[in-house]
């Protein structure tokens, strides 16, 4: 990464869909200056791949099931603060975007962006700049003006648990996914309900859906 202009930008792809990875790889390689040096299909493997290949930019999807992609961002940044991470996902919730940036991401681009936006975002973060797609900027802008979504009352953990719960996971499954005790998940469940004012699990699911936390 000492001379990006001369050597191009090396990229680590992290996404749980092989097809999508393959698509990225072809897209990036066709640019000439972008080179995919490694891939990972889950957040847990991301750091290992990062350490092994020392890419200029990590492109990762934080909407992977199970472990949080935010965790992966923190993991990488904690050990390699100069790492550049571009989040590339279909989610566009303001809370998620803010969480990603505060976790250490350098950029956030939605999958509905034009390919040119993505490749330019990769080049931007490789230069140490911040990058985000127009829709994300829009969402953050509106969010900064708005009264605040219901989700703003929730912490990161609470949001993750709400997402999995609304997605149909049982308490035990969530506990297993996040490596928590069932009791803790139950407590979060209850906390989320009281915080959001939902009196019913069904109301919670609807809430998550209307906030875009889960798609139905």
Partner DNA sequence: ATCCGGCTTGGGAAATTTGCCCGAGCTGCA
Partner DNA sequence: TGCAGCTCGGGCAAATTTCCCAAGCCGGAT
Provide the binding-site residues for a copy of itself, judged by CB under 8 A.
Answer: 16-20, 22-24, 26-27, 30, 63, 90, 111-115, 118, 165-170, 198-206, 209-210, 215-216
Q: Which is nearer to DNA, 54 or 158 (CB)?
A: 158
Q: Which is nearer to a copy of itself, 33 or 173 (CB)?
A: 173
Taking the complex as a whole, the smallest distance from the CB of residue 81 to a copy of itself amounts, in Å, to 29
Residue span binding DNA (CB under 7 A) among the ranges 35-43, 80-88, 182-190, 205-213:
182-190
Instruction: Give the whole-angstrom CA distance, residue 82 versus residue 210.
Output: 37
Q: Which entry of DNA, a copy of itself, none binds 16, CB below 5 to 8 A by partner kind?
A: a copy of itself
Q: Which is nearer to a copy of itself, 78 or 209 (CB)?
A: 209
Instruction: Give the whole-angstrom CA distance, residue 37 versus residue 194.
Output: 47
Taking the complex as a whole, the smallest distance from the CB of residue 3 to a copy of itself amounts, in Å, to 28
Taking the complex as a whole, the smallest distance from the CB of residue 177 to a copy of itself amounts, in Å, to 14
Instruction: Give the whole-angstrom CA distance, residue 58 versus residue 118.
Output: 13
Q: Which residues pair with 87 in a beta bridge?
A: 60, 108
> Among residues 83, 96, 166, 178, which is the contact residue for DNA, using CB under 7 A?
178
**Residues 106 to 165: which contact DNA by CB under 7 A?**
155-158
CB 150 within 8 A of CB 158: no
CA of 147: how far to CAs of 45, 52, 144, 151, 194, in Å?
Answer: 38, 44, 8, 11, 19
Q: Which entry of a copy of itself, DNA, none binds 190, CB below 5 to 8 A by partner kind?
A: DNA
Instruction: Give the whole-angstrom CA distance, residue 110 versus residue 215.
Output: 16
CB 60 within 8 A of CB 78: no
Q: Which entry of DNA, a copy of itself, none binds 90, CB below 5 to 8 A by partner kind?
A: a copy of itself
Q: Which is nearer to DNA, 49 or 211 (CB)?
A: 211
Count helices and strands in the chain by DSSP H and E runs: 11, 6
Stated as kind and residue range, the H or E segment containing 14 is strand 9-14
CB 148 within 8 A of CB 104: no
Interface residues with DNA (CB under 7 A) are 155-158, 170-172, 178, 180-184, 186-191, 193-194, 199, 201
């Amino acid at each position: 990464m000492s001379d990006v202009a001369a050597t191009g930008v090396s990229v680590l792809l992290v996404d749980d869909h092989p097809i999508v990875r393959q698509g990225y790889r072809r897209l990036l390689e066709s640019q000439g200056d972008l080179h995919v040096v490694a891939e990972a299909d889950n957040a847990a493997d991301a750091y290992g791949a990062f350490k092994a290949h020392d890419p200029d930019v990590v492109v990762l999807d934080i909407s992977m099931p199970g472990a949080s992609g935010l965790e992966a961002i923190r993991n990488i940044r904690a050990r390699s603060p100069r790492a550049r991470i571009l989040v590339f996902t279909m989610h566009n919730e303001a809370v998620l975007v803010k969480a990603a940036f505060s976790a250490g991401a350098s950029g956030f681009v939605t999958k509905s962006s034009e390919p040119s936006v993505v490749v330019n975002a990769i080049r931007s973060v490789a230069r140490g700049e911040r990058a985000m797609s127009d829709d994300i900027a829009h969402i953050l802008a509106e969010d900064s003006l708005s009264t605040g979504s219901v989700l703003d009352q929730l912490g990161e953990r609470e949001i993750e648990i709400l997402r999995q719960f609304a997605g149909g996971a049982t308490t035990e499954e969530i506990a297993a996914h996040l490596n928590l005790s069932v009791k803790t998940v139950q407590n979060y469940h209850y906390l989320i309900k009281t915080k959001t004012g939902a009196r019913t699990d069904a109301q919670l699911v609807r809430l998550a859906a209307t906030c875009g936390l889960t798609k139905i």
